[in-house]
Structures are given as structure tokens and as C-alpha cells.
Amino acid sequence: MQNVRALAASSLAAVIADGRPFDGSIDMPRARANKRGATQKAVLPDQSQLNPRDLALFRELCYGSLRRYALLEVMLGSRLKKPLGKRDADIHALLLIGLYQLVFLRTPDHAALSATVNACIALQKTWAKGLVNAVLRNCLRDLEQGDRKQIPRPAQASEAALASHPQWLYQRLKADWPQHWQQIIEYNNSPPHMALRVDIARQPRADYQHTLQAAGLASQTSEVCDSALLLEHACDPTTLPGFDEGLCSVQDSGAQLAAALLHAGEGASVLDACAAPGGKTLHILQHCQPKSLCALDLDAGRLARVHENLKRCSRSGVAKLEVADASDTGSWWRGQPFDRILLDAPCSGSGVIARHPDIKLLRREADIAKLAGAQLNLLTALWITLADDGELLYCSCSVLREENERVIATFLDNEAGASALPIDAQWGIACGAGRQLLPKKASNDGFFYARLRKSPLR
């Protein structure tokens, strides 16, 4: 039988100590070399051996601890006499998981405490049982003196830590969105909603909602766009009615805005420059029926997921998929200009933190200027491949102005034939030459869109 807390501690340690992204799967502890150099067997087997209840607990412990990492670190720091070294990153992570359970989960205290202490055995670190027990009991004593319904506010915690955010990101959100930063923080600290895109060319949204209802799946319509449904409870997508035939896809409502904003008519040639895993590629094919579509991505593994996505909906024959660096046009462009380009640029992901809370730990402030440079570089390189009178839709899942309106403003300053087209919409906030949809708890992720038109140069 697997120890779910030990598995969670190993996975969390891989993010904290090694800077590895967390994708919801279990991280196998690396085999450790013994004194003679021979490697020991990995201690913990894989996630397929967890029953569904334990898998749900594993995910709750990992995602929850990542979401609340900044606050939990302050709570732990004040209780450790000296910090644990990197080789005991798993025990450090286990302590965070223990605190997370005491503060945020309804697990009875004694059960959470003893199960967390016992996880030291599964981690082959029996020596740590006393430490884990002492730290968690100490925390519990303090919690019992306050209101257990309130999130603790340790005196030594900064405003950012109290909001469970790294300092730099907290400050940026406040500076960029003085009227809306609390909404973003609330979304960032909440579990994500599951949104579906109904293929409304085949079935009206209301009909599909009834089909879901009949299958016992309650949902609400999204205010952001007319194809989105928000599920009351997340589920395995493969169990959704009509999923295998492409009647619906898992896609956030904010992401569903792209296909319509691209304004690609039936005869258009389209480039989807950063396409993987293909949510928007599929939507463009279903919504616009273009003459041709070329989907590029730098990452071969991720591009394979575009193929799977299109195959599920019987669209795999329509698009041409290519592994390429979109900014290196000499390596992939055959000289035939595109009528429409979607540039869904690589970004900080600061608009999708509810889905990827590891962003709070892994992103650094210095990354933002580098990302903005790469975004401008992609935009400038791809502009050459756009036909005269063609349109490029720039999109990011960031809420930071440096990656969005400032990239577009610099580009418009540099490029004589480029102009911004209006986005006439009910959703979002006008933001420079584009429009920002801010993330909202139980509603939508954050996305930025800007429409650019290319005029012939005389």
C-alpha cells in the first residue's frame, strides 16, 4: 500500500528544491547512491497504484500546499530551530503538507498528525518522526488558541505572505491592477473550475447542457462566451457525453475567445504559431473551417498532444503540424503568406495560477523582462509571414502589463505597417491596444488579446 503523504512530500520537494514544474503526477524519488556507489531501489512506486480516494488526497495535498506555500513557509520557518538541508527537502515538504492539513483541511487533527508523522517511515527517514511531531503539535497548540475558521495571520508574515504570494508578484499585481488585484489574488488562491467548450456548430450549448444534466453532471453557462459551460464538479473528461466524438472539449472560457477574435473566414490560410497542446487549433478548425492551417510548436512532445486532440475530433487530416521555432522563419516558412496568424505566446502564466500554483514558486521577477523580449521577438519574426491586409491575433495567459500591452505598444512603434484593430466586447477591460480578461474565481482564467492588422507598405 502506498503512503499518500510521503508521495506528496516527494513531489512537492521536487518543485521546491529542484525547481521542477508540478503537473499533478507523482514524482518518483531519485534512487540514492549508497556508500559503495550502488543505487538503492526507488522507495515509492507509481501513481497507478493509488486508489481514486488517495489520488484525490494526493492532489489536494500537493496543489493546496503549492497554493498556500508562501504562508506555510512563514509558519514553518518560525517553528524550525534551523532550516533543513536540501537532502531533507522531502521532510521540509512533508512539514508543509502537515501544516496545510491542520490549517486548510477538515481531516481530524489527530489523524492528520499521526499520518504525517508516519510518512517519515515511508520516506525512510524514521529519525524525522520526532521533529515532524513536535513542529505540528506546536502549530496545533497555536491554532487552537485562535479561530480555526480563519486563516492564520502570523505576526512575522508580510502582506504578500499573508496573501500566499511571492513578494514580487504581489507587488506587480497591485501596481498593474490597483482596482482589481484582490480579485486576482482570490482566484490564484482557489481551486480551479473545470470549463467545457461545446462544439456549437454541431449542437447548441443549451442542448449539451441538458445532456450533461441527464448524465448527472450539473453545469452553469459562462458569461464570457456563448460556447462555454462551467461544471459544478470536475470530472474525468473521457467520461463526458460525446467527448470521444468531439462534442465537447476541456477549455477555459477565456481561451475560447481566440477563435472568434481571429476572424478567419472559410477560405483563409491560418498559422497557429505556438499551438500545443492544441486547444485553440481545434477550436479554429471547428469554428472557422479555414482553407489550410499550419500548427507549429517548439516542443515535439507537446505537439503530439495537438495531434491527439485533433484526432479525437476527426480533424487530424486538416492541419499541418510542424516542430519548429516559430521565430526562426527561415527554418519552416515556405514563403506563402498567411491570411491570419494566432500567436498564443509563451508567457509567465500569471493568468492561470489557479490551475498551475507552482508558478508562484517557480517564476522569478527577472523572467518577466526575458519573456517580454521573447514575445516581441516572435511577433516581429512572424509579421513577415503575414499577408498584406492580413490579421495577427496576439494572446497570452498573463495578467502582467509588461507581457501584454507593453509588448504590443513597442511593436506598433517599431512596425510601420502595423495597426491595432478594435475588440468590441462585453468581457474584459480595454488595456492599451488590446483587451484584458482578468481571472475570476469559479468563472474564467486570465487572458490578454490584441488584434493587429498589416497594411501594405508603399
Ligand X SMILES: C[S@@+](CC[C@H](N)C(=O)[O-])C[C@H]1O[C@@H](n2cnc3c(N)ncnc32)[C@H](O)[C@@H]1O
Q: Is residue 391 a contact point for ligand X (CB under 6 A)?
A: no
Q: Is 327 in the site for ligand X (CB under 6 A)?
A: yes
* Residue number, 232 or 325, with CB nearest to ligand X: 325
Judged by CB under 6 A, the chain residues 261 through 320 that form the site for ligand X are 274-280, 296-299, 302
Q: How far apart are CA 409 and CA 414, in angstroms?
A: 9
**381 forms part of the interface with ligand X (CB under 6 A):** no
Q: What DSSP letter does each residue of 338-371 carry, written as one string?
A: EEEEEEE-----TT-TTT-TTHHHH--HHHHHHH
Q: How far is the CB of 310 from ligand X (least distance, A)?
A: 11
DSSP string, 212-249: HHHTT--EEE-SS-TTEEEESS---GGGSTTTTTTSEE
400 lies in the site for ligand X, by CB under 6 A: no
Closest CA to 403 of 427, 379, 421: 379
Chain centroid to Cα 284, Å, comes to 21
Q: How many helices (H) and strands (E) does the chain have?
A: 17, 13
Site string for ligand X, 222-261 (x = CB under 6 A): ---------------------------------x------
DSSP 8-state class, residue 444 = B
Quick one: 229 or 378, whose CB is closer to ligand X?
378
CB of 272 to ligand X, least distance (A): 7
Whether 151 and 143 have beta carbons less than 8 Å apart is answered as: no
Residue ranges with strand state E in 232-344: 248-250, 269-272, 292-297, 319-323, 338-344
**Total site size for ligand X, rule CB under 6 A:** 20
Q: Does 406 bind ligand X (CB under 6 A)?
A: no
Least Å distance, CB 446 to ligand X, is 12
Q: By Cβ distance, which residue is nearest to ligand X?
A: 274
At 72, the amino acid letter reads L
Q: Does residue number 46 form part of the binding site for ligand X (CB under 6 A)? A: no
Instruction: For residue 317, count other CB atoms closer than 10 A to its CB.
Output: 8
For ligand X, which is the closer residue by CB, 264 or 274? Answer: 274
Question: Is 102 among the residues that bind ligand X (CB under 6 A)?
Answer: no
Q: Which is nearer to ligand X, 122 or 257 (CB)?
A: 257
Closer to ligand X at the Cβ: 277 or 439? Answer: 277
User: Minimum distance between the CB of residue 19 and ligand X, rounded to whole angstroms?
Assistant: 18
Rounded least distance, CB 434 to ligand X, Å: 16
Distance CA 432, CA 408 (A): 8
Q: How far apart are CB 352 and ligand X at their closest, in Å?
A: 9
Report the site for ligand X in 335-354 (rule: CB under 6 A). Answer: 344, 346
Residues with a known catalytic role: 397
Phi, psi for residue 447 in degrees, rounded to 5: -140, 150
Strand 338-344 to strand 269-272: parallel, antiparallel, or no bridges (unpaired)?
parallel
Using the minimum distance from each CB to ligand X, give the nearer residue, 70 or 293: 293
Binding interface with ligand X (CB under 6 A)? 255, 274-280, 296-299, 302, 325-327, 344, 346, 378, 397
